[in-house]
Amino acid sequence: MTGIHVPDDILIQFDILGVGAVAVSELILRLLFVADAADKNGEEEREEGREQAEIEKILLDEEHGRLRD
């Protein structure tokens, strides 16, 4: 197990519905995996945005430098 603790009351509620604790644990792990993947994807997009902003800043600085000369 990955060290994720699911409170007993949640497991009992799912057990009443006929869903076992293993199924609940798997569901939670899958949701965490999807959330982690989305977070990594978002971080990659933010990094690309930062790189693009830096490039645009350099280009603007060069353009302003040429205008001053």
Give the pLDDT confidence of 9-62 residue by residue, as tens digits: 665 566 565 666 667 777 788 888 888 888 787 788 888 888 989 998 888 888
Judge whether 9 lies within some domain.
Answer: no
Identify the CA nearest to 9 among candidates 1, 21, 22.
21
For residue 14, the model assigns a pLDDT of 60
- How many structural domains does the chain have? 1
Q: How many CB atoms lie within 10 A of CB 29?
A: 13
Q: Which pair of tokens denotes residue 28?
A: 């939670």
For residue 1, the model assigns a pLDDT of 42
Judge whether 63 lies within some domain.
Answer: yes
For residue 11, the model assigns a pLDDT of 58
Say which DSSP state 3 is in. S
Phi-psi region of 3 (alpha: psi -120 to 50; beta: other; left: phi over 0): left
pTM for the model stands at: 0.43
For residue 61, the model assigns a pLDDT of 82
Range of the domain at 53: 23-68
Judge whether 48 lies within some domain.
Answer: yes
